[in-house]
A = this chain, B = another copy of it.
Amino acid sequence: MVIMKFKERISQLVKERKSLICVGLDTDPDKIPDHLKSTENPVLEFNKLIIEATSDICVAYKPNSAFYEALGPNGMEILKATITAVPSEVPVIVDAKRGDIGNSSRMYARAVFEYLEGDAVTVSPYLGEDSLAPFFEYKDKFAFVLALTSNPSSQDFQLRNVEGKPLYEIVAENVQKWNKSDNLGLVVGASHPDKIKEMRNISGNLPFLIPGVGAQGGDLEASARFGTDNGKSIALINVSRSVIYASDGVDFAEKAREEVQRLNRELSEFEIF
């Protein structure tokens, strides 16, 4: 059996499902519907039901490590069990924003790829290439490097002028140079639609992970059209809160499915598949 790499798996799912939607599993125990709160493991139960309801219509999942770490002693086990609950055909991006000197990054990569068995990871570029190489060296895995994020304070550093270009462009250029194993991509926030276009122009064919649509107010059409360069490149659009908390009642999983279907219908209007 030939094992497909992350990028090929995503490409195939995008074509088959006519979707770019990555479901963000940022599960906050305070926001879980009441009827699940008495179960043995409410967060895992919630995640399993969301996954069951959506795994045939989305193209990836992205659990955010922060939400699991905050759970305390069993957080990492719940994260691992969540990843295990995703059907094998759908890739999982561990959203971890890691980045440390090489010695330490090797340990983070081991945690994400070997213990958690994630297919991809998000990493933070501040320490430069040698801090990210331990992730890149897993050639069958994939890493999305933060370039331009969707929060207002992205202007503090990412938008600053570095030798004539914004810092996020310098990051994007470096990631292209580092991409020797064709397993790197960029995180580009949806709150900057004009910049997604600009970024696509300077980033060649690098896959984009685009957070910020939904609760954070990003523009779906701009993200999809500019992110994929009208269907020529890979762009995953991550949606978390507006899908997983589409309802706080017993119908939460059904409503989550309806929200992904609604997003897929909207995407279908842009003629990018």
Contact = CB atoms under 8 A, between A and B. Distances in A.
In the complex this chain forms, how many copies of it are found? 2
A131 B115 contact: no
A192 interface: no
A158 B99 CA distance: 14
A228 interface: no
A114 B149 CA distance: 27
A138 interface: no
Contacts of A111: 66, 69-70, 72, 75
Interface residues of A, number: 59
Interface in A170-217: 170-171, 174, 211
A84 interface: no
A107 B154 contact: no
Interface in A95-148: 95, 97-108, 110-111, 114-115, 124-131, 146
A73 B76 contact: yes
A38 interface: no
A64 interface: yes
Interface stretch (A41-49, A159-167, A265-273): A159-167
Contacts of A155: 128
A251 interface: no
State the 8 A-B residue pairs at the shortest beta-carbon distance, nearest first.
A128-B153, A128-B156, A66-B107, A69-B111, A70-B107, A130-B153, A66-B104, A72-B115
14 contacts: A66-B104, A66-B108, A73-B77, A73-B115, A75-B76, A99-B124, A101-B149, A101-B150, A126-B126, A127-B158, A128-B158, A157-B174, A161-B162, A162-B162
Interface of A: 26, 28, 64, 66-67, 69-73, 75-77, 80, 95, 97-108, 110-111, 114-115, 124-131, 146, 149-158, 160-163, 167, 170-171, 174, 211
Given A69-B115, A160-B163, 14 more contacts: A66-B107, A67-B107, A69-B107, A70-B108, A72-B76, A73-B80, A95-B104, A101-B151, A124-B127, A125-B156, A126-B149, A127-B158, A160-B167, A161-B163
